[in-house]
């Protein structure tokens, strides 16, 4: 251990502080640098905003699903990324949101806006009740509770005929002015933008910082005056609100909600897309969510994909678009966890930082990973 | 004397609870629930044994434990067309053991230093991969599965008709429990595993490779999961992708939690308790107005109550 | 009148009596040292004072108020700040982020208002950041303000930790071995810093410390614990020369079970 006084800084630190200059010496891109960034930004905007205009309604519906899944990934990230608690029952929150919104519109005759608001509120309320009851439970046990809750939702909550419309499912028409697939797509993009903004602000204010502190070390967080249980509950409610919102958006995109899709497999796909996307990386989460929602679509679009697998002996049939996420997803997850624990977000970080007006640094992998205290019985 | 009693406290509390429950049920004329509950509960207990073994050796909540069983069922289903039933059964167990081995090698070992929550996500990924492959290779529908015996004989226990396969299940489990008990207290390998789960560093120091033991433990856990599935599921006559995860994994986890996640006998007895409580409570008037099947709801309530009130488990040692 | 008082607190873990009938009092603007061999129950005493453990018997009073059963974060809100033996910082965050996170209770905007990016919340955030910069300056951390905590040298971490606990705006500071990982010169400088801080921030300080010269220089009063009991108390020089203290430090080895327990409890609280 080298002695370090107030004025003396070791070489290593000096290297660090040069990489991330403090206060005065902030990096500013040159005019050409700004232009290059603007071109890339325009390209992204073109891809997201203009390209869908030329696609067929069924394709646009898929894109909208991608936007909705991005909201789901952001929702799960609040628990998994910020608090470090894993929810394996998120399909229940999203599903209840979907049915609530459909029920409000179809059975109660409410407006779409009211229905979305109620769905988000119900999502938050569910999390509040489940969280309040299981407030003491953390870590691996919390995962068990949420998984169990998801199965209960599947077996009991979705059996409420009034809410789900039984085997026929519940109708969920698109709102006025947004009847076409394209308009609804932009509406969902607007909702995604709101969620992104709220998430961004949250992490730049006290509530978000409290979450990051208690994720790493709840005891230290409590000496900062942070009420650990309350903050965890708060995060769960935020996650529930986002999930309920995503469910409502998915419902009206499909215009029909049926019971059998909200199962355990979907809960795992949600978790996988969040981890593969990259915890605590908004870019990565959006890409991860969209990628998994669009996986069936992408597989359909790849010419010859079905013939590719059909000739392999032992493989009885082609990998249909519906099954693909269940097989490709976990494989990506395992590769991801073992080789690139930071997910897509970490791999893209040099580019996203650059786009945000920082210096391009190919070695920037974000904050160093810190050993997290786990709950072990 | 008192020390001996204290050392066996988990056994004694568990047995006392089980006996009290049995007496209560017989006294109130609920023999049927008791017998059915014990048989399903034994299967939960067996899956729970695998969970506890893995948790003790690697500190992982293994969400793939259920799928070891379902994969064995698929293997049995596919092999049954090719070869003799008993050979197919053996093949199914071997397939499950291989899956356990590969899971440890490919997924768990590289993540040895990772946070436990990440490992949990990884094993859940293995489970989903297994389910995905099952749907891909088979399909999403339920499949009929052969029973061990062509003719199902019914035997009377406490005046309740029980298919003999269920009695086989209990007998198998009793034998397995004894074998496991002997294994962990009498054999060098068993003692090494227990040692590694309690004092990994000390075990390494006396020259036992904790990592090598780890793959062995995963294989044993997978075989236990396969046994549970192969004995319990054919009773229902059919199975579907992911069945062991959706209907066995959570009761088994609850059973393991009842045993404080560390006690093998506690986990097994916990499984039996869950089975009985489930079969009694599903017909309880309390849940009458709730739509759908009540099995998962009952387990959810038990899990929540245990974790909130006694997180160290009902049968676990004081300071878990 | 004393700001902080422990009255006959006892706690037992299994078979080990970690603290027995320990009493101490900290006066306003006083610097109090807690010394004693490893496993003497010093950190356990801190844990009871800050609320991580509830004593089996006895009470903790803070500013004349019984806080024995109050939650950790509520005590922090009353102005009880502490550092940890193994550095209590958010290691994934930068120095500045730690300093701002520690000002949790001074962020006076509503949670939702913050999430929507209201004007007052942004103004407050700017204020918090300014205070973080100022505190970093006081402890000579200005150059490191945007560096991630993980990877900094141990002695620096200890200073970051003191800055962070100051950011919580405490009235009483509990420091657990603040000079560990520092050389003699650095420890000497730490003494100056602590005396300065007392003057600037009007603090009372309680510190667990092994570095005897530091204790003698800065402390007004010293308690010595051994085997979970108060061995002696008094002005630093008296305590240092007390025959039983000398014996406790030089003589018989501490109870190994107590040392092991203390270690285990430390890792429990600090999660390391």
- What are the E-state strand segments in chain B? 143-144, 154-157, 160-163, 238-239
User: Would residue A44 count as lying in a domain?
Assistant: no
pLDDT in tens, C105-127: 998 888 888 889 889 999 999 99
Nearest to B110 among A155, A269, A338 (CB): A338
Give the pLDDT score at B135: 84
How confident is the model over C130-153, as a mean pLDDT? 90
- Which chain A residues in 191-210 lie under 8 Å from chain B, judged by CB atoms? none
Cβ atoms A248, A97 nearer than 8 A: yes
The CA distance from C14 to the nearest CA of chain A, in Å, is 18
* CATH number for the domain harbouring residue B149: 1.10.3470
pLDDT in tens, chain A (377 residues): 333 333 333 434 434 444 444 444 567 888 888 888 899 899 999 988 888 888 888 889 999 999 999 999 999 999 999 998 889 999 999 999 999 999 999 988 889 999 999 999 999 999 999 998 887 777 788 888 999 999 999 888 888 888 887 777 888 888 888 888 899 999 999 999 999 999 999 999 999 999 999 988 889 999 999 999 999 999 999 999 999 999 999 999 998 898 888 988 899 899 999 988 888 889 999 999 999 999 888 887 777 666 666 666 666 666 777 788 888 888 888 888 888 877 888 888 888 888 888 888 777 777 776 655 443 32
Cβ atoms A151, B125 nearer than 8 A: no
Ranges A87-101, A123-137, C155-169, C244-258: which has the least confidence: C244-258
Strand B160-163 versus strand B154-157 pairing type: antiparallel
> What pLDDT band is residue C92 in, cutting at 50, 70 and 90?
confident
DSSP A129-196: HHHHHTTT--HHHHHHHHHHHHHHHHHTGGG-HHHH-GGG-EE-PPPTT--SHHHHHHHHHHHHHHHH
Nearest to A206 among C71, C77, C114 (CB): C114
- Which chain A residues in 232-271 lie under 8 Å from chain C, judged by CB atoms? 234
Give the pLDDT score at C174: 94
Does A337 sit within 8 Å of B114, measured CB to CB?
Answer: yes
- Which chain B residues in 196-255 lie under 8 Å from chain A, judged by CB atoms? 242, 245-246, 250, 253-254
Domains and CATH numbers, chain C: 2-79+170-270 (3.40.50.300), 89-153 (no CATH)
pLDDT greater than 80 at residue B166: no
A133 vs A233: CA distance, rounded Å: 10
Contacts A366 to C, Cβ<8 Å:
none
Q: Which chains touch C (3 or more CB pairs under 8 A)?
A: A
User: Would residue B222 count as lying in a domain?
Assistant: yes
Give the pLDDT score at A192: 97
Nearest to B117 among A155, A265, A374 (CB): A374
Does B297 sit within 8 Å of A334, measured CB to CB?
Answer: no
How confident is the model over B43-69, as a mean pLDDT? 88
User: Would residue B2 count as lying in a domain?
Assistant: no
Give the pLDDT score at A371: 59
Does B61 sit within 8 Å of A140, measured CB to CB?
Answer: yes
> What's the number of domains chain A is made of?
1
pLDDT in tens, C1-60: 689 999 999 998 877 888 999 999 999 999 999 998 888 889 999 999 999 999 999 999
The CA distance from C260 to the nearest CA of chain A, in Å, is 19
Question: In Å, how far are A75, A275, B124, C67 from A91, measured between CA atoms?
Answer: 11, 16, 15, 43
User: Would residue A248 count as lying in a domain?
Assistant: yes
Give the pLDDT score at A29: 81
Which residue in chain B has the smallest CA separation from A331? Answer: B129
User: Would residue B6 count as lying in a domain?
Assistant: no
pLDDT in tens, B291-307: 777 788 888 988 888 88
User: Would residue A37 count as lying in a domain?
Assistant: no
- In chain A, count H helices and then E strands: 16, 2
List the structure tokens of C172.
């009483």
Is B172's Cβ below 8 Å from some Cβ in A? no
A264 vs C10: CA distance, rounded Å: 50
Is B125's Cβ below 8 Å from some Cβ in A? yes
Is B116's Cβ below 8 Å from some Cβ in A? yes
Helix, strand, coil content of chain A in percent (nearest 5): 70, 0, 30
B302 vs B254: CA distance, rounded Å: 8
pLDDT in tens, B142-157: 666 655 544 455 566 6
Contacts B309 to A, Cβ<8 Å:
none
Contacts C140 to A, Cβ<8 Å:
5-7
Torsion from C-alpha of A62, A65, A70, A75, nearest 10 degrees: -160
Name residues whose C-beta falls within 8 Å of residue C268's C-beta, 6 or more positions apart in sequence: none
User: Would residue B1 count as lying in a domain?
Assistant: no
pLDDT greater than 80 at residue B288: no
User: Would residue B317 count as lying in a domain?
Assistant: no
Does B308 sit within 8 Å of A152, measured CB to CB?
Answer: no
The CA distance from A247 to the nearest CA of chain B, in Å, is 22
User: Would residue A39 count as lying in a domain?
Assistant: no
Give the pLDDT score at A374: 41
pLDDT in tens, C52-83: 999 999 999 999 899 999 999 999 999 999 99
Which residue in chain C has the smallest CA separation from A215? Answer: C90
Which residue in chain B has the smallest CA separation from A318? Answer: B136
pLDDT greater than 80 at residue B172: no
φ and ψ at C197, to 5 degrees?
-60, -40
Does C168 sit within 8 Å of A224, measured CB to CB?
Answer: yes
pLDDT greater than 90 at residue B238: no
Is A140's Cβ below 8 Å from some Cβ in B? yes
Does A213 sit within 8 Å of C76, measured CB to CB?
Answer: no
Nearest to A327 among B117, B122, B132 (CB): B132
Is B262's Cβ below 8 Å from some Cβ in A? yes
The CA distance from A163 to the nearest CA of chain C, in Å, is 30
> What pLDDT band is residue C168 in, cutting at 50, 70 and 90?
very high
List the structure tokens of A116.
């979305």
| Radius of gyration from C-alpha coordinates of chain B | 19
Strand C172-176 versus strand C80-82 pairing type: parallel
Q: Strand pairing partners for B239?
A: B143
List the structure tokens of A9.
């800084």
- Which chain A residues in 313-372 lie under 8 Å from chain C, judged by CB atoms? 367-370
Residue scoring higher pLDDT (B213 or A281) = A281
pLDDT in tens, B121-141: 899 899 999 998 888 877 656
The CA distance from C219 to the nearest CA of chain A, in Å, is 22
pLDDT more than 90, % of chain B: 15
Question: In Å, how far are A71, A177, A194 from A187, measured between CA atoms?
Answer: 13, 10, 11
Does C102 sit within 8 Å of A5, measured CB to CB?
Answer: no
- Which chain B residues in 11-70 lie under 8 Å from chain A, judged by CB atoms? 59, 61, 63
pLDDT greater than 90 at residue B283: no
Q: Which chains touch B (3 or more CB pairs under 8 A)?
A: A
Look at residues C21, C44, C3 and name the one whose alpha carbon lies nearest to residue C208.
C44
Give the pLDDT score at B205: 63
Is B307's Cβ below 8 Å from some Cβ in A? yes
ipTM, 2 decimals? 0.88
pTM of the model: 0.88
User: Would residue A367 count as lying in a domain?
Assistant: yes
B181 vs B144: CA distance, rounded Å: 35
Q: Which helix (H) or strand (E) holds C175?
A: strand C172-176
Give the pLDDT score at C254: 56
Contacts A265 to B, Cβ<8 Å:
128, 131-132, 242
Domain interval for residue B117: 11-19+28-309
Which residue in chain A has the smallest CA separation from B251? Answer: A148
> Three-state SS for C234?
strand
Which residue in chain A has the smallest CA separation from C146? Answer: A22
Strand C221-226 versus strand C31-35 pairing type: parallel
Cβ atoms A119, A101 nearer than 8 A: yes
> What pLDDT band is residue B233 in, cutting at 50, 70 and 90?
confident
Nearest to A4 among C81, C155, C271 (CB): C155
Is B300's Cβ below 8 Å from some Cβ in A? yes
Neighbours of C169 (CB within 10 A): 17
Interface test with A, best of B62, B300, B308, B317 (most A CBs within 10 A): B300
* CATH number for the domain harbouring residue A260: 1.10.3470
The CA distance from B300 to the nearest CA of chain A, in Å, is 6
C129 vs C96: CA distance, rounded Å: 7
> What's the number of domains chain B is made of?
1
Give the pLDDT score at A12: 40
Give the pLDDT score at C252: 54
The CA distance from B137 to the nearest CA of chain A, in Å, is 6
User: Would residue B4 count as lying in a domain?
Assistant: no
Domain interval for residue A71: 2-21+54-376
Name residues whose C-beta falls within 8 Å of residue C175's C-beta, 6 or more positions apart in sequence: C82, C83, C162, C165, C205, C206, C207, C208, C209
How confident is the model over C224-238, as a mean pLDDT? 89
User: Would residue B320 count as lying in a domain?
Assistant: no
> What pLDDT band is residue C272 in, cutting at 50, 70 and 90?
very low
């Amino acid at each position: 251990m080298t002695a370090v006084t107030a004025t003396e800084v070791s070489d290593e630190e000096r290297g660090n502080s040069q990489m991330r200059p403090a206060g005065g010496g902030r990096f500013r891109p040159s005019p050409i640098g700004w232009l290059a960034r603007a071109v890339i930004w325009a390209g992204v905007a073109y891809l997201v905003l203009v390209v869908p205009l030329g696609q067929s309604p069924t394709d646009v519906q898929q894109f909208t699903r991608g936007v909705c899944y991005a909201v789901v990934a952001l929702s799960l990230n609040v628990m998994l990324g910020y608090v470090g608690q894993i929810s394996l029952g998120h399909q229940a929150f999203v599903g209840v949101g979907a049915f609530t919104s459909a029920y409000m519109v179809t059975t109660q005759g409410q407006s779409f806006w009211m229905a979305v608001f109620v769905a988000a509120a119900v999502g938050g309320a569910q999390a509040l009740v489940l969280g309040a009851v299981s407030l003491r439970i953390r870590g691996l046990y919390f995962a068990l509770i949420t998984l169990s809750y998801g199965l209960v939702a599947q077996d009991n909550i979705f059996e409420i005929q009034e809410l789900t419309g039984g085997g026929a499912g519940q109708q969920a028409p698109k709102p006025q002015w947004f009847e076409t697939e394209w308009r609804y797509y932009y509406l969902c993009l607007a909702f995604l933008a709101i969620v992104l903004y709220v998430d961004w602000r949250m992490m730049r204010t006290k509530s978000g910082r409290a979450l990051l502190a208690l994720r790493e070390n709840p005891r230290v967080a409590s000496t900062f005056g942070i009420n650990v249980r309350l903050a965890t509950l708060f995060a769960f409610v935020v996650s529930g609100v986002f999930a309920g919102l995503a469910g409502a958006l998915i419902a009206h995109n499909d215009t029909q909600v049926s019971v059998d899709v909200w199962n355990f497999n979907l809960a795992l796909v949600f978790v996988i897309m969040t981890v593969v996307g990259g915890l605590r990386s908004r870019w990565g989460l959006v890409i991860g969510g969209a990628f998994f929602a669009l996986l069936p679509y992408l597989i359909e679009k790849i010419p010859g994909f079905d013939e590719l697998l059909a000739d392999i002996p032992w493989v009885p049939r082609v990998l249909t678009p519906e099954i693909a996420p269940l097989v490709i997803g976990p494989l990506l997850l395992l590769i991801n966890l073992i080789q690139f624990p930071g997910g897509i977000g970490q791999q893209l970080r040099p580019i996203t930082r650059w786009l945000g007006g920082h210096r391009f640094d190919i070695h920037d992998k974000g904050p160093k990973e810190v050993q997290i205290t786990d709950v072990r019985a | 004397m008192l020390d001996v009693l204290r050392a066996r406290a988990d056994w004694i509390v568990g047995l006392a609870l089980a006996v009290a429950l049995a007496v209560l049920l017989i006294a109130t004329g609920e023999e049927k629930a008791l017998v059915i509950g014990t048989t399903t509960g034994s299967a939960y207990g067996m899956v729970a044994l695998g969970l506890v073994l893995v948790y003790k050796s690697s500190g992982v909540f293994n969400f793939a434990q259920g799928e070891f069983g379902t994969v064995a069922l698929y293997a049995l289903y596919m092999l049954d067309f090719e070869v003799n039933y008993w050979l197919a059964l053996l093949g199914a167990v071997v397939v499950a053991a291989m899956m356990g081995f590969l899971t440890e090698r490919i997924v768990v070992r590289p993540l040895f230093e990772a946070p436990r929550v990440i490992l949990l996500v990884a094993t859940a990924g293995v489970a989903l991969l297994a389910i995905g492959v099952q749907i891909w290779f088979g399909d999403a529908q339920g499949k009929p599965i052969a029973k061990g015996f062509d003719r199902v004989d019914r035997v009377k226990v406490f005046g309740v008709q029980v298919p003999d396969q269920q009695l086989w299940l209990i007998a198998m489990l009793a034998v397995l429990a004894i074998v496991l008990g002997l294994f962990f207290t009498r054999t060098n390998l068993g003692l090494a595993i227990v040692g590694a789960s309690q004092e990994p560093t000390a075990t390494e120091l006396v020259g036992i490779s904790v990592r090598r033991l780890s793959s062995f433990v995963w294989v044993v856990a997978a075989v236990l999961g396969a046994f549970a599935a192969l004995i319990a599921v054919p009773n229902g006559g059919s199975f579907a992708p992911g069945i062991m995860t959706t209907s066995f994994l959570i009761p088994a986890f609850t059973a393991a939690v009842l045993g404080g996640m560390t006690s093998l006998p506690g986990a097994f007895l916990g499984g039996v308790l869950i089975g009985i409580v489930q079969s009694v409570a599903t017909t309880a008037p309390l849940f009458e107005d709730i739509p759908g099947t009540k099995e998962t709801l009952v387990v959810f309530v038990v899990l929540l109550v245990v974790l909130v009130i006694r997180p160290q488990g009902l049968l676990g040692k004081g300071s878990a | 009148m004393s700001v902080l008082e422990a009255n006959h607190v006892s706690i037992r873990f299994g078979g080990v009596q970690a603290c027995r009938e320990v009493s101490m009092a900290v006066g306003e603007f006083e610097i109090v040292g807690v010394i004693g061999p490893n496993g003497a129950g010093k950190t356990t005493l801190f844990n009871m004072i800050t609320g991580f453990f509830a004593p089996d018997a006895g009470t903790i009073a803070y500013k004349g108020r019984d806080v024995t059963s109050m939650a950790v974060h509520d005590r922090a809100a009353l102005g009880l700040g502490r550092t940890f033996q193994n550095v209590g910082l958010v290691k994934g965050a930068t120095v500045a982020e730690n300093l701002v996170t520690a000002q949790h209770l001074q962020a006076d905007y509503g949670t939702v208002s913050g999430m929507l990016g209201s004007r007052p919340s942004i103004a407050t955030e700017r204020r918090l950041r300014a205070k973080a910069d100022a505190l970093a300056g006081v402890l000579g951390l200005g150059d490191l303000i945007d560096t991630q905590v993980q990877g900094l040298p141990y002695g620096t971490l200890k200073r970051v930790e003191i800055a962070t606990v100051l950011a919580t705006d405490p009235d009483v500071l509990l420091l657990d071995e603040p000079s560990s990982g520092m050389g003699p010169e650095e420890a000497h400088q730490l003494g100056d810093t602590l005396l300065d801080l007392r003057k600037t921030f009007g603090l009372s300080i309680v510190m667990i410390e092994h570095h005897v010269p530091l204790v003698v220089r800065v402390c007004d009063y010293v308690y010595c614990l051994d085997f979970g009991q108060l061995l002696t108390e008094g002005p630093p020089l008296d305590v240092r020369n007390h025959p039983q203290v000398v014996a406790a430090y030089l003589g018989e080895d501490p109870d190994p079970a107590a040392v092991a327990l203390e270690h285990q409890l430390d890792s429990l609280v600090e999660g390391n």
